[in-house]
Amino acid sequence: YEGNFGVSLVTITDKNYDEKKIIQLAASLEKNSEHPIAKGIISRAEELKVKTMPVSDFEVIKGQGVKGKIEGKNIALVSQSYVRENNFEILKEIKVDEIGTLVYVLFDNRIIGVITLADNIREESHEAIRQLRKLGVKCWMLTGDNKKIAEKVSNKLYLDGYFAEVLPHEKLEKIKELQNKGEFVAMTGDGINDAPALAQADVGIAIGSGTDVAAETADIILVNSNPLDVTSLILFGRATYSKMIQNLLWATGYNVIAIPLAAGALYSYGIIISPAIGAALMSLSTIIVAINAQFLSIKKETSRV
């Protein structure tokens, strides 16, 4: 995704509230968050020119939303999975199958509105997935979004599969499942909800524009936040490994051939080199290794690291 969420719809389920009030309550809770969804809600609040309100007893509902008190009342912003798990009544005016991310606004544990946010798939993502598949890499998506969104994105990008409506600890479990099957897993993420999975993966890759927690947990940070860089990382890693093997052969070649010859191993056959020549060959092998390392490169069309 581009990471630029925008509010596409606000559904009111309590006639005592209107869009401005719903957005005001939501923006008040989200004003200190780095999450892209929070930024989308805050952006809508700015468009409507509504001011945020003081929040007390603020708390994060791990992987499912946030809550706090506004003017002494309990207000929460929660995901669709939270609503389902806690058996909230889904009123008919709430379009649960709407294409977008649904954020439920709760007032004293009662749904008063639903904010639908939408994001676009980054153009680079299509090419990145195509290149990864060409390299023989299986591509799966782990997302907290609903199944309809996940299926739509998966089909558009030709992914190998997806897991929808997963919580942070469930993302972690999915990574473990793949590892237990003998798979080498690289995980790319940008949010605090991705941190456990990034830590568990064999290689954790954080998007540079994401949260600090994700960046601190990951092994690699993509400064440009470009999905094509994931392909570049794999190509760069493979090229580095190949170059390492080449240099290992050059370095061991001296030890395997020159040292025995200088020691007179084949003297009876009239084959011998002087210690001086052996020392020169050792220096030459070091120079060859250094020069060979300078030729490390990957194809320009995908090289971004």
Question: Who has greater pLDDT, 99 or 206?
Answer: 206
Do the beta carbons of residue 116 and residue 12 sit within 8 Å?
Answer: no
pLDDT over 90 at 267, yes or no? no
CATH 3.40.50.1000 describes domain 124-228: yes
Instruction: Quickly state the pLDDT bin for 194 (edges 50, 70, 90).
Output: confident
What average pLDDT does range 198-203 have in this prediction?
93
Question: Who has greater pLDDT, 268 or 166?
Answer: 166
Contacts of 6 (CB under 8 A, 6+ apart): 40, 43, 44, 117, 118, 119
Res 301: pLDDT: 47
Instruction: Quickly state the pLDDT bin for 58 (edges 50, 70, 90).
Output: very high
Instruction: Quickly state the pLDDT bin for 293 (edges 50, 70, 90).
Output: confident
Res 95: pLDDT: 62
Do the beta carbons of residue 116 and residue 102 sit within 8 Å?
Answer: yes
Instruction: Quickly state the pLDDT bin for 53 (edges 50, 70, 90).
Output: very high
What average pLDDT does range 49-72 have in this prediction?
91
- pLDDT above 70 covers a percentage of the chain that reads 91
Contacts of 10 (CB under 8 A, 6+ apart): 19, 22, 23, 113, 114, 115, 116
Helix (H) or strand (E) holding 137: none
- In tens, the pLDDT along 227-266 reads 899 998 999 888 899 999 988 888 887 777 777 877 777 8
Q: What's the mean pLDDT when you consider all of the chain?
A: 85
Which spans in the chain are helix H? 19-30, 36-48, 80-85, 123-134, 147-157, 168-180, 195-200, 212-217, 228-253, 259-262, 275-294
pLDDT over 70 at 302, yes or no? no
Res 304: pLDDT: 41
d(CA 81, CA 41): 19
- In tens, the pLDDT along 75-112 reads 999 988 888 888 887 665 666 555 678 899 999 989 99
Question: Who has greater pLDDT, 58 or 288?
Answer: 58
Res 214: pLDDT: 66
Res 305: pLDDT: 41
Parallel, antiparallel, or unpaired for β 203-207 and 220-222? parallel
Instruction: Quickly state the pLDDT bin for 74 (edges 50, 70, 90).
Output: very high
Looking at this protein, which amino acid is placed at residue 238?
R
Res 63: pLDDT: 79
Res 47: pLDDT: 92
The dihedral region occupied by 182, where left means phi > 0, alpha psi between -120 and 50, and beta the remainder, is left
What average pLDDT does range 277-289 have in this prediction?
80
Lowest-confidence range among 85-99, 140-154, 277-291? Answer: 85-99
Lowest-confidence range among 140-149, 150-159, 267-276? Answer: 267-276
The CATH T-level fold of domain 6-118 is Calcium-transporting ATPase, cytoplasmic domain N (3.40.1110)
